[in-house]
Amino acid sequence: MQETRSNYRETLKALERQTLEALDMVVQALDRALEAISYQDVELAGMVVADDDRIDGRYLEVHQGILSLLALQTPVAIDLRIVAALLHVIRHAERMGDQCVNIAKLIPLSGYEAPKDKDLLDAIERMGQLARSQVSQAKQAFAERNSDLAYDLLRQDTEINQLNVAIFNRALAIGDDIETREWAMHMILVARCLERIGDNAVDIGEQTAFVVTGLFREFADASHPG
Amino acid sequence: MIQPRLSLKRNREMSSTDPPTEQEQGPQAPEPRAEESSGSGAANGAGRAKKSAGHQVSITDLHAYYGATEAVKGIGIEFPPNEVTAIIGPSGCGKSTMVRCINRMHEEIPGARAEGRVLLDDQDLYAPEIDVTAVRRLIGMVFQKPNPFPTMSIFDNVASGLRLTGNRGENLRERVHKSLRAVGLWGEVKNRLESPGIGLSGGQQQRLCIARTIAVEPEVILMDEPCSALDPIATLKVEELIDELKEQYTIVIVTHNMQQAARVADSTVFMLDGQVVEHAPTSELFTMPKDERTERYVTGKFG
């Protein structure tokens, strides 16, 4: 049984590599966006916005590559599951990149010398770390076809969701200073973006489980929380 | 025990005016094309009331040999009625041999023999009292290369089996026309029924052979690579035809083209080295095969 279709195998591997690299780009964008928040760095935020073109470009590249592969090689069985999953994963990566842009665009709105609240900022930073770790873990789980690691994303996501609620409550109670309240409102939006990134990471985990088992199921159903 | 349905057919044949000798020579020749002899027991044009009441073929512990070589090594497969079952697997895996055991053509090859059980519904096709010719009449076969009778007209190609069972005149004409319509050939040949069958294109010839097979109203149709000599459009026409034919027949198709199996078959059997590795609904076999060897074969990881 000699290996056959080597060109096809290479193409499929390259597509997976390109897709997972997009998740690395997301991690990089997320790091910068979080740093920009911590230091109110408007210039760094601008770079996050500009660099999102790279992730969008990668999305188009992978999308086109998958269409070609489907048309020319008609993958089946596990190959077909991988290809179908990659289409989802690259889409999620693109969405997560957009969330980083959304975060970055909020930063200049608070001006260069925005007032800050330490508790709130700590919660945002903690949330950002969790989101970052989720994206990395989603990538690792997919690359290793590790459905246990993929399922573990749900645990982290629960913590992110709790922080999101806590941030909302802290912002409500932040006091009367108008500028501080405005900043806090922006932080609610940032928290919302981070929460979405976490959801996207969980979705990538679901795709990993699909590749491994051939069955698709949602890890958690938002409309029927259990 | 004499199987009622088969023996019935044999009686009818005996009562027909034409002695069936000529017809019997066909299937016994080692050449694959010999299949065509399939005359019909359903001599009266009305036929049996079997439309869409399908028949099941079951194979149990089937072994097939060419001399000392065992080509099929104890397999069991159920072919459900009114379904298309595709057989895939690398060359030499025994898939054609297995199919040729179903209508007892395998044993026609010198030195070849088969052991095990093949049931058509509940009739054992290998029981000693079974009339082999009757088996081949109930189980039609279509081959890789279209093989119309070279000296016969389009009409006579389809009529040949019917004439052997005593169909004449208007009744014969009606049944030939009906078969040609069923394979979608009628519009293309109705004005030249008397021209030679081999004057048709490859795809038309193959549909002519299918018309010849169904004219005698078999219960099961075996197809051994029916499209491998056809162009893509003719292939799609035959595939569409297969889809229509399963309303009335149980169909087994051997194919090297996995996409064809994916397109036409309800379930697919993967064979390797004389054995069945996996038999599953087609969509399952091509999206999440259970056996590692199936996975490797359908994804092209070994040739």
pLDDT above 70 as % of chain B: 82
List A residues 3-62 in contact with B (Cβ-Cβ < 8 A).
3-5, 8
Q: Could you tell me whether strands B250-254 and B220-224 are parallel, antiparallel, or unpaired per DSSP bridges?
A: parallel
Q: What is the mean pLDDT of residues B139-157?
A: 94
Residue B286 to residue A80, Cβ atoms within 8 A: yes
Q: Is the pLDDT of residue A196 over 50?
A: yes
Q: Mapping DSSP to helix (H, G, I), strand (E, B) and coil, where does residue A191 land?
A: helix
- How many inter-chain contacts (A to B, CB under 8 Å) are there? 42
What residues of chain B have any CB closer than 8 angstroms to a CB in chain A?
258-259, 262, 286-289, 294-296, 298-303
> Interface pTM (ipTM) of the complex?
0.73
**3-state SS assignment for residue A33:** helix
What is the pLDDT, as a whole number, of residue B16? 40
Q: What angle do CA B238, B54, B251 make, to 5 degrees?
A: 30
How many other C-beta atoms lie within 10 A of the C-beta of residue A7?
9
Q: Mean pLDDT of all residues in chain B?
A: 84
Residue B33 is predicted with a pLDDT of: 38
Would you call B300 and A214 a contact, using CB atoms and an 8 Å cutoff? no
Residues of A in contact with B289 (CB under 8 A): 77
Residue B275 pLDDT level (bands cut at 50, 70, 90):
very high
Q: Of the candidates B262, B287, B301, which has its C-beta nearest A3's C-beta? A: B301
The pLDDT of residue B12 is above 70: no
Q: What is the predicted pLDDT for the residue at A116?
A: 82
Whether residue B270 is predicted with pLDDT greater than 60 in this model: the reply is yes
**From A1, A3, A214, residue closest to B287, measured CB to CB:** A214
B289/A2 CB distance under 8 A:
no
Mean pLDDT value of segment B100-106: 94
pLDDT digits (tens, 9 = 90+) for B248-261: 999 999 999 999 99
State the average pLDDT for chain A.
93
Lowest mean pLDDT among A43-52, A125-134, A156-165, B231-240: B231-240
- The answer to whether B291 and B278 have CB atoms below 8 angstroms apart is yes
pLDDT digits (tens, 9 = 90+) for A70-95: 988 889 999 999 999 999 999 999 99
Residue found by looking up tokens 């009441």 in the block: B53
Q: Do the chains contact at A74 and B300, CB–CB below 8 Å?
A: no
Describe the crossing of helices A77-106 and A178-213 by its angle, rounded to 10 degrees. 180
Q: What is the pLDDT of residue A222?
A: 65
Is A2 in contact with B262 (Cβ distance < 8 A)? no
Longest Cα pair distance anywhere in chain B, in angstroms?
57
pLDDT of B193 reads 95
At position B1, the amino acid (one-letter code) is M
Distance from CA of B266 to the nearest CA of A (A): 17
pLDDT above 70 as % of chain A: 96
A79 — contact with chain B (CB < 8 Å)? yes
Residue B144 has pLDDT above 50, yes or no: yes
Percent of chain B with pLDDT over 90: 72
Task: Give the residue, A111 or B158, on which the prediction is more confident.
Answer: B158
Q: What is the mean pLDDT of residues A162-173?
A: 95
CA–CA distance, A178 with A198 (Å, rounded to integer): 30
Confidence category of residue B43, pLDDT binned at 50, 70, 90 = very low
CATH 3.40.50.300 matches B4-12+52-297? yes
Q: B102 pLDDT exceeds 70? A: yes
Structure confidence at residue A206 as a pLDDT band (50, 70, 90): very high
Q: Is B302's CB within 8 Å of A3's CB?
A: yes
Mutation target among A1, A69, A70, A76 for the B interface, most CBs of B within 10 A:
A76
Candidates B288, B294, B297: best to mutate against A (most CBs of A within 10 A) is B288
B232-243 mean pLDDT: 90
Strands B84-88 and B250-254: parallel
pLDDT of residue A2: 54
Residue matched to tokens 């200049």: A108
Contacts B298 to A, Cβ<8 Å = 76-77
Tell me the C-alpha distance between A206 and A151, whole Å.
8
Nearest Cβ partner of B301 from A4, A213, A214? A4
Q: How confident is the model at residue B8 (pLDDT cuts 50, 70, 90)?
A: very low
CA distances from B205 to B35, B164, B185, B191 (A): 16, 22, 10, 16
Is the CB of A76 less than 8 angstroms away from the CB of B288? no
Decide if A81 and B287 are in contact by the 8 Å CB cutoff: yes
- Calculate mean pLDDT across residues B288-300: 93
B114: three-class secondary structure by DSSP:
strand
What pLDDT shows up at residue A1? Answer: 45
Average pLDDT over residues A97-125: 91
* Bigger pLDDT: B25 vs B269: B269
Q: What is the DSSP letter of B227?
A: T
pLDDT at A219: 86
CB contact under 8 Å between B295 and A77, yes or no, is yes
Q: A82 at the B interface (CB within 8 A)?
A: no
B contacts of A77 (beta carbons < 8 Å) = 286-289, 294-295, 298-299
Residue-range domain boundaries for chain A: 6-213
Question: Which of A86-95, B36-45, B127-136 shows the highest mean pLDDT?
Answer: A86-95
**Residues of chain B neighbouring A5 (CB-CB closer than 8 A):** 300-301
Residue at A195: amino acid letter: E
pLDDT digits (tens, 9 = 90+) for A134-150: 999 999 999 999 999 99
Q: Across the interface, do B259 and A8 touch by the CB < 8 Å criterion? A: no
pLDDT of residue B231: 86
Whether A4 and B302 lie within 8 Å, measured CB to CB: yes
**Closest residue on chain A to B288 (Cα):** A77
Q: Scanning every residue of chain A, which has its alpha carbon at the shortest distance from the alpha carbon of B285? A: A77
Name the more confident of B150 and B44: B150
How far is A81 from A88, CA to CA, in rounded Å?
11
Q: How many CB atoms lie within 10 A of CB B295?
A: 19
pLDDT mean over B276-280: 97
Domain ranges of chain B: 4-12+52-297
Distance from CA of B296 to the nearest CA of A (A): 9
pLDDT digits (tens, 9 = 90+) for B192-209: 999 999 999 999 999 999
Integer angstrom CA distances of residue B298 from A81, B36, B48, B79: 13, 33, 40, 21
Give the start-end residues of each E strand in chain B: 57-66, 69-79, 84-88, 112-120, 123-124, 139-142, 220-224, 250-254, 267-272, 275-281
- Banded model confidence at residue B167, pLDDT cuts 50, 70, 90: confident
Of the residues B282, B301, B302, the best mutation for testing chain A's interface (the one with the most A CB atoms within 10 Å of its CB) is B301
**CATH number for domain A6-213, candidates 1.20.58.220, 3.40.50.620, 1.20.210.10, 3.20.20.70:** 1.20.58.220
Q: What is the pLDDT of residue A225?
A: 59
Cβ of A151 under 8 Å from any chain B Cβ?
Answer: no
A173 shares contact with chain B (CB less than 8 Å): no
CB contact under 8 A, A77 and B299: yes
pLDDT of A173 reads 92
Which residues of B are less than 8 Å from A79 in CB distance? 299
In the prediction, which pLDDT does A221 show? 72
**pLDDT grade for B5, boundaries at 50, 70 and 90:** low
